[in-house]
Amino acid sequence: MTKILITGSKGQVGRCLVEQLNNTIDIEFIALDRNELDITDSTSVEKIVTSFRPNVIINAAAHTAVDRAEEEVDLSYAINRDGPRNIAEAAEKIGAAILHISTDYVFAGDKDGEYVENDETGPQGIYGKSKLAGEIAVAQACHRHIIIRTAWVFSEHGGNFVKSMLRLAESRDTLGIVADQFGGPTYAGDIAAALIKISAAITKGASVEFGIYHYSGMPHVSWYDFAKTIFVEATEQDMLKKPTAINPIATADYPTPAKRPANSKLNNRKIYSQFGIAPSCWPLALKNLKNYTS
């Protein structure tokens, strides 16, 4: 029987993983949140891993507060670099594979067109720098590693752009939304499904090319276009009487402590070629917005 260990089980991807694995036969899994496993404690990580002896470890734990990371530098590196290293080292000791989630923020965001896996990195803030450090640590510590870079994650769980837009629509008649940052909104449930499919390929002995993969949603849009679609869907689903009026604004009009990539477009061809995993269809994931308000 396949055994999977999940860290960060209360995050967006972690919760989706648990939901999907609960309905999957022939897989035994343990899902731990930060209160149950501090990934920055190498002793605790090794104890859990050597006791459960999973075939695959999925690290969905991360410090994702992009703006707070500019102040919480040590914490960001502890969770985004040191924790993944601890997990990867423990995986290597028992011959397990590690699937680690990373981000579009490892890129500068100044490229024309889509980013591919071997493009030069150039993170602009602490979040991106700490996540890139985590990628490097995982790759160095465990040779059986899959690093999944994703972007603009949303789901029914936790805090995200979709839920923020629905909440703001209740109290605002007009919103200004950034229109000069572009990327692929990615449904966390699709990320979870991709991770489970990759785990199955690994445990079934398929010829797997370990390394870095990109996985995000299509089509690519701006935050403004994404918000517009959310409000159209909310209106059609009788959650709003009419779409909330939104105005396109520039990044310069909405200053934040951390710099965001202007271009977060990730190319998905490699993951499709290797595993048959198609990009996340984010418009489809917006078809039941009532689930995002609970």
Is 105 catalytic? The answer is no
Q: Give the Cα separation of 184 and 215 in Å (integer).
A: 9
8 Å CB contact between 224 and 177: yes
Reference 221, options 281, 165, 270; nearest CA is 281
Strand-pair partners of 76 = none
8 Å CB contact between 247 and 175: yes
Strand-pair partners of 164 = none
> Which residues, in sequence order, are CB contacts of 270 under 8 Å at separation 6+?
116, 117, 213, 214
Phi/psi of residue 116, nearest 5 degrees = -105, 170
> Which residues, in sequence order, are CB contacts of 208 under 8 Å at separation 6+?
146, 198, 201, 202, 274
Q: Is 74 exposed, middle or buried (0-12, 13-18, 19+ CB in 10 A)?
A: exposed
Structure tokens at 20: 């999907």
Q: What is the dihedral of CA 9, 202, 137, 140, to 10 degrees?
A: 160
Structure tokens at 294: 């609970």
Q: Give the Cα separation of 84 and 107 in Å (integer).
A: 19
> Which residues, in sequence order, are CB contacts of 113 under 8 Å at separation 6+?
265
Query: Could you count the other beta carbons within 10 Å of the beta carbon of residue 270?
Result: 18
Residues 77, 115, 127, 215: which is the catalytic one? 127
8 Å CB contact between 169 and 293: no
Q: Which residues are catalytic?
A: 127
